[in-house]
Structure 1
Amino acid sequence: MKNLTNERLKEIIAHRSPSLRWGEAEAMARELLVLRPGEVAAVTAESAPAYLLGLMEQVKACNTPEELRELRSRVSLSDLNTAIGSIDQAIEKLSNL
Structure 2
Amino acid sequence: MKSLFNEESTTDDVLKGINLEGKRVLITGASGGIGLETARSMAAHGADILCAVRDMGKARNTMQVVRDTALMSGSCYWLVNGWRAGTTTGSAAARSA
TM-score normalised by L of structure 2: 0.31
- The structure with the largest strand share of the pair is 2
- Structure number with greater CO (CA < 8 Å, separation at least 6) is 1
> Based on CA coordinates, which of the two structures has the bigger radius of gyration?
1
TM-score normalised by L of structure 1: 0.31
